[in-house]
């Protein structure tokens, strides 16, 4: 079985050596490349495609958050683990918003690096245990942002979906909601796009599963 390839990006050579030594002790893992800054990292990824990138937030030329955003846009299949000294809520929130799959503090690296890599390989998000309170705070703030309800669909789209699932035609939905038939068609198209559903039967099943009817 081919090893799980990891690229390291940190402007401190000695720290990279320390991370390499930890990775080298873990089975089925290998360090496939190293970079000293964000731009060098992106150039490296143009030549090799690892399974994961472990990078610092504070790097010359291109900061870690910006590098993460570029990686996720250019190579969405690559996992990104931020390894940093920054403990602030703002740094954590920005990294996660950029698409990072994990956020590990450097002081936790020796004890938790293997757990972080394993969790991310399994499709989970890993956050340093020391930042548990910050994660909770970020989640609460995100949920309290205006317009954030935890729902994929808007209130109007849920109304349309409920009526459609009950067997109402677009004309009947328009009359009941006092909107135009064209608006109903637009809502139905948006619902299908958001839910990635093409068949009416699957749309009805979704409505049932979500308790709309």
pLDDT score of 148: 44
Query: What residues does CATH 1.10.10.10 cover in the chain?
Result: 155-209
Per-residue tokens: 120? 């991310």
Query: What residues does CATH 3.40.50.2300 cover in the chain?
Result: 4-143
Q: What is the mean pLDDT of residues 151-155?
A: 74
- Report pLDDT digits (tens) over 184-206: 999 998 898 888 888 877 788 88
- Report pLDDT digits (tens) over 58-90: 888 888 999 999 999 999 999 999 999 998 878
- Report pLDDT digits (tens) over 169-182: 889 999 999 999 99
Which residues, other chains included, contact 148 with Cβ-Cβ below 8 Å and sequence gap of 6+? 142
Q: What is the mean pLDDT of residues 138-156?
A: 60
User: What CATH number should be reported for the domain whose range is 155-209?
Assistant: 1.10.10.10
Q: Are strands 79-84 and 52-55 parallel, antiparallel or unpaired?
A: parallel
CA atoms within 13 A on the CB side of 185: 4
User: What CATH number should be reported for the domain whose range is 4-143?
Assistant: 3.40.50.2300
Task: Give the C-alpha distances (Å, rounded to integers) separating 37 from 15, 49, 61, 156, 162.
Answer: 13, 17, 6, 47, 52
- The beta-carbon contacts of 26-30 under 8 Å, at least 24 apart in sequence, are 26/114, 26/117, 28/1, 28/3, 28/4, 29/3, 29/4, 29/117, 30/3, 30/4, 30/5, 30/6
Neighbours of 182 (CB within 10 A): 10
pTM: 0.65
Average pLDDT, the chain: 86
| Cα–chain center distance at 161 | 28
């Amino acid at each position: 079985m081919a090893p799980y390839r990891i690229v390291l990006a940190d402007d401190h050579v000695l720290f990279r050596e320390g991370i390499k030594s930890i990775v080298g002790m873990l089975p089925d893992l290998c360090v496939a490349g190293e970079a000293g800054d964000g731009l060098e990292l992106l150039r490296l990824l143009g030549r090799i495609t690892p399974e994961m990138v472990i990078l610092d937030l504070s790097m010359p030329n291109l900061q870690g958050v910006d590098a993460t955003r570029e990686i996720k846009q250019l190579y969405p299949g690559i996992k990104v683990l931020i390894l940093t000294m920054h403990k602030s809520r703002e740094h954590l929130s920005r990294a996660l918003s950029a698409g990072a799959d994990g956020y590990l503090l450097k002081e936790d690296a020796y004890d938790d690096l293997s757990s972080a890599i394993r969790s991310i390989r399994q499709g989970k998000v890993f956050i340093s245990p020391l930042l548990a309170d910050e994660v909770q705070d970020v989640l609460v703030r995100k949920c309290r942002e205006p317009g954030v309800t935890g729902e994929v669909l808007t209130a109007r789209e849920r109304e349309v979906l409920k009526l459609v699932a009950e067997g109402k035609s677009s004309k009947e939905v328009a009359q009941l909601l006092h909107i135009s038939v064209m608006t109903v068609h637009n809502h139905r198209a948006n619902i299908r796009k958001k839910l990635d559903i093409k068949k009416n039967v699957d749309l009805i099943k979704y409505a049932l599963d979500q308790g709309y009817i």
